[in-house]
Amino acid sequence: MDTQRRTGEAGPPPFRSSRFFCVGSKWYFTTREGFDSGPFATRERAEIGLNRFLHVVRMLPDEPQLH
Protein backbone atom coordinates (compact mmCIF):
# COMPACT_ATOMS: atom_id res chain seq x y z
CA MET A 1 0.00 0.00 0.00
CA ASP A 2 1.25 3.48 -0.82
CA THR A 3 2.23 5.62 2.19
CA GLN A 4 3.95 8.51 0.43
CA ARG A 5 3.16 12.01 1.59
CA ARG A 6 1.73 14.54 -0.79
CA THR A 7 3.57 17.82 -1.29
CA GLY A 8 2.85 20.26 1.53
CA GLU A 9 1.60 17.69 4.03
CA ALA A 10 3.20 17.68 7.47
CA GLY A 11 3.49 14.86 9.95
CA PRO A 12 3.27 11.15 9.46
CA PRO A 13 0.92 9.66 6.89
CA PRO A 14 -2.52 9.03 8.37
CA PHE A 15 -3.27 5.49 9.49
CA ARG A 16 -5.78 3.62 7.36
CA SER A 17 -6.86 0.23 8.55
CA SER A 18 -7.96 -0.51 5.00
CA ARG A 19 -8.69 1.43 1.86
CA PHE A 20 -10.76 -1.49 0.64
CA PHE A 21 -14.25 -2.53 1.62
CA CYS A 22 -16.87 -4.93 0.36
CA VAL A 23 -20.60 -4.28 -0.03
CA GLY A 24 -22.51 -7.40 -0.98
CA SER A 25 -20.12 -9.16 -3.31
CA LYS A 26 -18.61 -5.98 -4.83
CA TRP A 27 -15.31 -4.36 -3.77
CA TYR A 28 -14.48 -0.65 -3.48
CA PHE A 29 -11.54 1.50 -2.47
CA THR A 30 -11.64 4.85 -0.73
CA THR A 31 -9.30 7.83 -1.02
CA ARG A 32 -8.13 10.17 1.72
CA GLU A 33 -10.46 12.78 0.23
CA GLY A 34 -13.39 10.50 0.99
CA PHE A 35 -14.04 9.41 -2.61
CA ASP A 36 -15.21 5.80 -2.96
CA SER A 37 -14.46 4.05 -6.25
CA GLY A 38 -16.03 0.86 -7.52
CA PRO A 39 -17.61 -1.55 -7.77
CA PHE A 40 -14.95 -4.10 -8.64
CA ALA A 41 -15.57 -7.83 -8.95
CA THR A 42 -12.74 -8.76 -6.54
CA ARG A 43 -10.46 -7.13 -3.99
CA GLU A 44 -7.55 -7.75 -6.36
CA ARG A 45 -9.34 -5.73 -9.06
CA ALA A 46 -9.99 -2.95 -6.54
CA GLU A 47 -6.25 -2.92 -5.71
CA ILE A 48 -5.46 -2.56 -9.42
CA GLY A 49 -7.98 0.28 -9.61
CA LEU A 50 -6.35 2.03 -6.65
CA ASN A 51 -2.89 1.67 -8.20
CA ARG A 52 -4.16 3.19 -11.45
CA PHE A 53 -5.80 6.05 -9.52
CA LEU A 54 -2.57 6.75 -7.61
CA HIS A 55 -0.57 6.70 -10.86
CA VAL A 56 -2.84 9.38 -12.36
CA VAL A 57 -2.73 11.49 -9.17
CA ARG A 58 1.09 11.41 -9.17
CA MET A 59 1.11 12.85 -12.71
CA LEU A 60 -0.95 15.91 -11.67
CA PRO A 61 0.95 19.16 -11.06
CA ASP A 62 1.56 20.05 -7.40
CA GLU A 63 0.10 23.54 -7.76
CA PRO A 64 -2.80 24.69 -9.93
CA GLN A 65 -1.54 26.56 -12.95
CA LEU A 66 -3.22 29.86 -13.72
CA HIS A 67 -3.17 31.16 -17.27
- What digits encode the pLDDT tens for the residues 36-64? 999 999 999 999 999 999 999 899 888 76
Please tell me the number of Cα atoms within 13 Å of 4 on its side-chain side. Answer: 8
Q: What pTM did the predictor assign?
A: 0.67
Residue 40, in any domain of the structure: yes
4 assigned to some structural domain: no
CA distance 37 to 54: 12
The β-bridge partners of 30 are 36
- Residue 12 covered by a domain: no
Question: Residue 44: inside a domain, yes or no?
Answer: yes
Nearest Cα neighbor of 39 from 23, 55, 18, 57 is 23
Could you give the CA distance from residue 8 to residue 50 in angstroms, rounded to a whole number?
A: 22
Alpha-carbon gap, residue 37 to 50, rounded angstroms: 8
In a domain, 33, yes or no: yes
pLDDT bucket at 2, cuts 50 / 70 / 90: very low
Domain tally, the chain: 1
Q: Does the pLDDT value for residue 14 go beyond 60?
A: no
Range of the domain at 39: 20-59
